[in-house]
Amino acid sequence: MADFRQQDPNYAITRIDLADAGTHGFQVRLQRRGIKYGKFFADRLHGHPEQALRSAREWRNALLENIADRARVCERSPRNNSGVVGVSKITVIASNGNSYHFWQATWSPAPGQRRCVKFSIRRYGDREAFQLAVEARTIGISST
């Protein structure tokens, strides 16, 4: 887990300053495997912005350590409906309520990294979007 901290100590942390609402602090937001995690660290509750940021980082680090224990094992599962490891059909629901369907290819170019690419079923059709996802994963794995 040390990689992200060396690159960006404020990974997944955003400063929130809404003077009209009297809201000042740091927001931690992460999403893993479709689950969203978030918590707000108010300057006032922590006494000072630096302490709020320190608490946000500690919470984020503990969360990442906890969810890293649930890493996926890359082997065919009985839940795999595509028949291809790392290729899945997903549905994304936009904030306006519209749903979009994709075939998604996912692979790991290096430990601790993940790449994914989506192909729209509306644009390419179900069969072609699936084939593009399979090809993308094959290319992604072979270039690592």
Q: Which residue has the tokens 């918590």?
A: 39
The mean pLDDT value of the chain amounts to 86
Rounded-to-integer distance, Cα 135 and Cα 119, Å? 11
- Binned at pLDDT 50, 70 and 90, residue 69 comes out as low
What is the CB neighbour count within 10 angstroms for residue 124?
16
Rounded-to-integer distance, Cα 33 and Cα 120, Å? 20
pLDDT at 54 over 90: yes
What's the predicted TM-score (pTM) here? Answer: 0.48
Please write the tens of the pLDDT for every residue from 80-132: 777 788 899 999 888 888 999 999 999 988 888 899 999 999 999 999 999 99
The full set of domain ranges for the chain reads: 2-68, 87-142
- Binned at pLDDT 50, 70 and 90, residue 41 comes out as very high
